[in-house]
Structure 1
Amino acid sequence: MFFFDPTFIILIPGILLALIAQMYVQERFSKYSRIPSSLNMTGAELAKFMLESSGIYNVKVERVPGNLTDHYDPIKKVVRLSDATYNSNSVAALGVVAHEIGHAIQHARKYVPLILRNSIAPVVSFSSNLSWILFILGFIFMNMALVRIGILLFSLAVIFSLITLPVEFDASRRAVKILESNLMMPKNELSGVKSVLGAAAMTYVASTLMAFLQLLRMLLIAGFLGGNRD
């Protein structure tokens, strides 16, 4: 059944959107990485400026290897910038950096969706992996109790994806607002930032869709199993 599972077809729209989103964000970042910003600031300099101008002095800025591995660590209160953004003054780099600082600002301002996402992240990381183990075992041994527990645990991953959407959109909104109002970034550069961040947002939408489709697939398989038991 798992080798020739017809319910896999349900995942195709999510897989396609994820692939398109990934290619789109790479294309947008590549395009605007070739355009230097008139702000004359590197990603690291922008990060420090945005933090200080927001009254945040307890968040560090560090460099990490990789391409677009930028992220904000709420536990250690560190904004980590990738090789592609740390020393770059491109429109794309500044947009990505501003977005990550947006998360630091959310944390400092106790933005509820971010606090909620951070609080359930460790649980979701564990439960999403365990969910499929229990689900498959339940299917193999025809045990509906294990199947239902697997579905319940995976539902947490769907909830996490839903909470992530407003967190990411809000971080981009804060980023654009600061670049526009505080730094007076020209409109043509701001348009590039919005393009890059919009493309990145598509990846989160694709991830949420994929989680929903996976949950739907699990429910359909569970219905098949339940019907066979009857």
Structure 2
Amino acid sequence: MFYSFFDPTYLLVIIGLALSMAASSYVNRTFRHYDRYRSQSTTTGTAAARFILSQSGITDVGVQGISGDLTDNYNGQTKVLSLSESTANSTSVAAIGVAAHECGHAVQDHVNYWPMRLRTALVPAANLGSTLSLPIIIVGVLLSYNQALINLGILLFSLALLFQLVTLPVEFNASRRALKILSDGQVLTHDEVPMVRKVLIAAALTYVAGALSTFLQLLRLVLLFGGHRDND
């Protein structure tokens, strides 16, 4: 029953972890590199965010600082854009790019961008699937490979992958919106925008790596448990 804990499909998990670690390392390295470039406008991440929100006609979103490093986020429920310590007061090109990306999410919310709405709607299901999938699979295995329970667990785990797949276009679109806003030359020069593009591409790769890692974990579950039949 427990042979699967030592089987070769662990290679899929290892590959997924390696991809996630490599993407995380790359985004941190890229951010640190362009964080050394001070913007010619000397605009801080906070000031840039407020300017972009104003230019986009968004008046109901607040901007606040939060602790942490690259913990920037936009909360559509509270209408608050939170910028980390490495972004809020920094005048670097990288910081402005990150702030602009989060503003991209605020713009998506403002215009009712439907993939963002879909992602928000999937949050409860994805959280439920991530929490219950493995326990249900384990119970199914313990009950003489009850395939109905195992399949239910695999289906629940697939909800996490679905959420990450929907997240990809949301993140890419937010970055495109950010680059479009910054390209008007009021916050960054035309020479600085390509630097931001590299930072945002690196950040997007973390979401791609996360989706690939979850897919590999799902594939492992299918290979391990998807082909069993109930014992007579």
Report the TM-score range of the alignment, normalised by the length of the smaller protein.
Answer: over 0.9
TM-score normalised to the size of structure 2?
A: 0.94
**Equivalence for 1:16:** 18
Q: Could you tell which deviates more after superposition, 129-138 or 197-206?
A: 129-138
Residues in 2 aligned to 1:188 and 1:91: alpha-carbon distance in whole angstroms? 11
Aligned-pair distance for 1:49?
0.6
TM-score normalised to the size of structure 1?
A: 0.95
- AA matched with 2:163: F
- AA matched with 1:116: L
Aligned-pair distance for 1:169?
0.3
Any idea what SS the aligned residue of 1:57 has?
Answer: coil
Aligned-pair distance for 1:77?
0.8
Please tell me whether residue 204 in structure 1 is matched to residue 207 in structure 2. yes
Deviations 1:133-165 (A, max 9, x none): 111221232221111110111111111111000
Residues in 2 aligned to 1:187 and 1:55: alpha-carbon distance in whole angstroms? 23
Any idea what SS the aligned residue of 1:155 has?
Answer: helix
CA contact (8 A) 2:136 2:152 kept: yes
- Among candidates 181, 184, 189, match of residue 181 of structure 1: 184
Please tell me whether residue 154 in structure 1 is matched to residue 148 in structure 2. no
**Equivalence for 2:35:** 33
Any idea what SS the aligned residue of 2:65 has?
Answer: strand
Please tell me whether residue 113 in structure 1 is matched to residue 119 in structure 2. no
- AA matched with 1:137: V
Aligned-pair distance for 1:193?
0.5
Aligned-pair distance for 1:184?
6.0
- AA matched with 2:63: V
- Among candidates 93, 102, 108, match of residue 91 of structure 1: 93
Stretches of structure 1 that go unaligned for 5 or more consecutive residues are none
**Equivalence for 2:53:** 51
CA contact (8 A) 1:128 1:157 kept: yes
CA contact (8 A) 1:139 1:225 kept: no
The aligned length equals: 229
CA contact (8 A) 1:39 1:185 kept: yes
Stretches of structure 2 that go unaligned for 5 or more consecutive residues are none
How many percent of aligned residue pairs carry the same amino acid? Answer: 47
